[in-house]
Structure formats: C-alpha cells, structure tokens
Amino acid sequence: MTPNPKLKIEKRMREEIDDIRKMADLLPTGKRHALINKLGKLSSLAVKAQAIADAHLYAPTHAGYDARTTDDLAAQAEAKKAVFEAMKSGRKVSLRDGREFHHSQMHTVICKIRQDIDRKDLPWEMCDEWVRPEGTRPFKQYWLIPKEEEGPVC
C-alpha cells in the first residue's frame, strides 16, 4: 500500500506540532509540560488519522456481497435440481449427502428448494425430522410428500 501524495496528514501535523513544541519552551515549566503532553496526544491521533485515510483510499474492492462465479451458481442450480429429483422420487436427503450431489452447501440447496415450493406453489410439501444416530451429532433429514387439500401431514 503506497501512501497517497495528496493526504500527508501525519507529516503535516508533525511539522505543526514541532513548531508548537519550540514555542512551548517560552512557557513556565508546568504549562510547558502540559502543552507537550497534549501535543503528544495530537501526534498519536495524527498517526491514526493517516492510517484511516490510507485504509479507506486503498482498500481492496470486492464484488458487492456475493463473490461467487457463474460456475458456482450453475453448480448450485444443478445440485438443487438433482436433490429435488431425488426427493420427488421418495428419497430422504440429509446434509450428509453433499458429497453424492457434489455440493458442500446442502443447507443452501434445501433452503432454495423450500423457497421454490412456497413461491411457485408446487404440489409438494417438505418434511423434516431430526436423526440422532448413536455416537454422532444429530442431523436433519428432508423428504417431500404430495400436498393434500386438508393440510400438512408431516
């Protein structure tokens, strides 16, 4: 990171503070020490101000909030489609099946499927249950059932 030639806050403040320190020699001892202490605080604030100015001007720019590439989005769409097809065929799917579907963010895939069912008013209802195998952490399994007119069956 190279400093901005237009913003030399620390250098200009240091020059002014040095001039004031020279003038402080004319003051009585107590007032001179008090003034030098205040100038020391100003000097440290100038260092911080320069750091803030440099960080703001030279901060790296990133893609808004989502740095995924089109390949990542396509892979997520393919995984969502494969998981949805598996669930429509009656299979129970869990986060442990990520390797099979070649996707590490199964929770996102499940969430997107749930959103699609709600937004597109698909004739499916997503059910889930906690599975607690002995010796491992609990996890959720998800499956689909056809929607019925009376209400949820899960």
Q: List the pLDDT tens digit at each of the 154 positions of the chain.
A: 455 556 788 888 889 999 999 998 899 999 999 999 999 998 898 888 888 877 765 555 555 566 678 888 888 889 999 999 999 999 999 988 888 888 888 888 999 999 999 999 999 999 999 999 898 899 999 999 998 765 556 6
What's the CATH number of domain 70-146, 2.20.28, 1.20.120, 1.10.10, 3.30.1480? 1.10.10
What residue type is 1 in one-letter code? M
Is the pTM above the cut of 0.85? Answer: no
Rounded to whole angstroms, the Cα distance separating 55 from 57 reads 6
125 and 117 in contact (C-beta within 8 Å)? yes
96 and 142 in contact (C-beta within 8 Å)? no
What residue type is 53 in one-letter code? A
**What pLDDT score does 66 carry?**
64
Distances (CA, A) of 134 to 73, 81, 131, 139: 36, 32, 10, 12
Strands (E), 39-112: 93-94
- Token look-up 């590439």 returns 69
- Token look-up 């402080």 returns 24
For the chain, how long is the longest CA-to-CA vector? 92
